[in-house]
Structure 1
Amino acid sequence: MRILSARPVFLSFIARRPQAQTTTRRLAAARNTNEASDEELQAARKWLNDLHAETIPKSIGEMSFSRSSGPGGQNVNKVNSKATLQVPLEGLLKYIPTALHSEIRTSRYIAPRSNNIIIQADDSRKQVDNAHSCYARLHQMVVEAGRNAVPGETSAEQSKRVKNLQKTENEYRLKSKKQHSAKKSSRRGQSYD
């Protein structure tokens, strides 16, 4: 397990996190519960692109080990190999962009009574591997929250394609309305005796 001593991206976000700014154009984030400005969304996208599992500081939470359960023979009875990572929610949220806060608060790893994130791993027989797995799951939780909370960027090609499709659909709609109108007007001109 490699521990980075340099100031990682995870911690450096605090210095450049944009404050809530008043702009006329607002975007609703995922599930329409969290509104974020364009600048906040851009900053969150950049932060998520720079985030790696190794950049999460090991001092962010408290790691404890206990005896595992399930198959494993004598090893699970004698060795404390199960890793449990407890991260205070407020301690984590100060490092994460505000656009992701609502998604993180709804994570399945949140313990509501203690307001902590609790992640457990007992996949391996080794403590080190299980501890690494806990941090990897924390990273995955943050990345998934980012996917759900921050909408993706639309490329210029995609937006042009959508405009062309909308234009074509509108032309087709107008053409079908004219055909329907012509059919109705042709019926009015006829008299049935």
Structure 2
Amino acid sequence: MPIRIPFKVRSPFLSLIANGCTRAFSGRRYAGEEAGIALDWVRKFESRKLGREDVHLEFTRSSGPGGQNVNKVNTKVVIRCPLDSTPWIPVWCRENLRTLPAYVPSSRSIMVTSTRFRSQAQNVEDGLRKLHDTILSCIRGFIVNEPTEEQRQHVRNLEKKGKAKMRIEKERRGNVKSLRSRVRFDD
């Protein structure tokens, strides 16, 4: 099913999305108009709270210290978020999510575990928060913010200073090396 974009498509990236293409954009950075779309999605996703219905939950017994509670109660939560069948994750960011260490290729999902609390309900909330933060940090890492004119000017000034400093250092090293040359006596 093609995704409907309500504005005129100018970029080849956006036209691929508009035409329903699921081509891999591994490690693709988003800049310009694409970054704007990605930032809009990030802002919406920041305010969205993941619920139990958005993911697959599994419960097992935790390991480590904790006495009988650890041995008897399934408090550890394993959260799996399948990338291919999750409608709230856009097609354009799925390939970048596949670069995460939490991605499990065999199930094509992101897997997060939580054993922080003794309570199952608290571990579920903690795991959902971890998943939410993981997705946000991954997508933010691929968004390139355009520098302002002031930042560009600052970089140009730093480059000029660096070149001048390098030139002075090269001249100094050249003088030191020229002093090492053989001394000629004109007799």
Global fold match (TM > 0.5): yes
**Aligned pair partner of 2:61 in 61, 67, 73:** 67
1:159 aligns with 2:152: yes
Give the equivalent residue in structure 2 for 1:95.
89
Q: Name whichever of 126-135 and 150-159 sits farther off.
A: 150-159
Give the alignment's Cα RMSD to 1 decimal: 3.6
Once the two structures are aligned, what percentage of the paired residues are identical?
27
1:18-72, Cα deviation, whole Å (9 max, x unpaired): 868238xxxxxxxx84254521111112322343375234322111222211111
The answer as to whether partners of 2:27 and 2:99 remain within 8 angstroms in 1 is no
What amino acid is the match of 2:120? Q
Q: Residue 151 and residue 49 in structure 1: after superposition, are their counterparts in 2 closer, same or farther (change >3 A)? A: same
The answer as to whether partners of 2:58 and 2:79 remain within 8 angstroms in 1 is yes
Q: TM-score, normalised by structure 1?
A: 0.65
Q: Which one has the bigger helix percentage?
A: 1
SS at match of 2:85: helix
Mapped to 2, the partners of 1:20 and 1:102 lie a distance apart of 22
Mapped to 1, the partners of 2:50 and 2:148 lie a distance apart of 30
Structure 1 spans left out of the alignment, 5+ residues: 1-13, 24-31, 178-191
Q: Residue 163 and residue 17 in structure 1: after superposition, are their counterparts in 2 closer, same or farther (change >3 A)? A: farther
Q: Residue 17 and residue 93 in structure 1: after superposition, are their counterparts in 2 closer, same or farther (change >3 A)? A: farther
SS at match of 1:40: helix
Q: Residue 154 and residue 60 in structure 1: after superposition, are their counterparts in 2 closer, same or farther (change >3 A)? A: same
Mapped to 2, the partners of 1:168 and 1:70 lie a distance apart of 56
Q: TM-score, normalised by structure 2?
A: 0.66
The answer as to whether partners of 2:30 and 2:38 remain within 8 angstroms in 1 is no
Give the equivalent residue in structure 2 for 1:22.
12
Q: Give the number of equivalent residue pairs.
A: 162
Using the TM superposition, give the Cα deviation of residue 124 of structure 1 relative to its aligned residue in structure 2, in angstroms. 0.3
